[in-house]
Every structure is written in structure tokens, then in C-alpha cells.
Amino acid sequence: MYMLFKDQLKKDDEENDSQKLSVKLSYFENVVDDTIDKTKNIPEIFWDHEDFTETYEHFRKYLDISKRVEILNHRLDIIKDLYDMLQNELTIQHGYKLEWIVIYLICVEVIIDIVWTIIIKGVFKWR
């Protein structure tokens, strides 16, 4: 039902690839979180068929579902930490890119001002 394939990502450039992986990780995190939430409670079918509730509880105990859910929660916390680190890195990279754009724009403004001052005003005596 939930298929996440690596070959679905088209590697255009590193930033887009990182963003796609970030979205994919967020989706995976939500799927796992929903699945864990579903296993914590007694399924709705047992509200209608109370005879099977005791059997369900025995199977839960036998399969050690509580411990498995705890392990999955721990792993999900690790995935969330990795996701937060990835998001932070993408934000920093985007900030660096914006800083360089501002630096280039300032340089262009300085060059235009120099050209205007020296060539247009100085050579052509235009005010």
C-alpha cells in the first residue's frame, strides 16, 4: 500500500534530491506513526465482537506487541532527529545561497554606480 522506491527519484541536482528525500522521509514518518497509533488501541472490530477481545489481548501479549511498539517508537524518534538534521542542513544551504545572491547584487550595484559616476558623468559631463 505504501510504496517508497528509490528509483522514483530523478537526480536533477543535489538540492532537489535532498528536498525529495526530505519529503519522502516526512511521508514515511507519518505512515509509521499512524501504524503505531493503530496498534496501540484495540481495533474497532472488537467493539462489535466482544468475544474475540480476550483472544486479541492474548495474542498481543504472546507477540509482545507493547515491546515492539516501544522499539518502533524509539526508532521513529531517531528518524525524526535525522529528519530535523536534514531540514536544518537544507535551511542553512538555502541561507548560504541567498547570502551569495545578495553579495552579487551589491557588486552589480557598485559596478553600475562606478560606471555611472566615471563614464557617464566624468567623460560625457552629463549630470
Residue 15: how many CA atoms within 13 Å on its side-chain side? 8
Q: Per-residue pLDDT tens for 76-97?
A: 889 889 888 988 998 999 999 9
* Domain ranges, ordered by start, for the chain: 13-99
pTM, to two decimals? 0.53
- Mean pLDDT across the chain: 79
Residue 5 to residue 33: CA distance in whole angstroms: 19
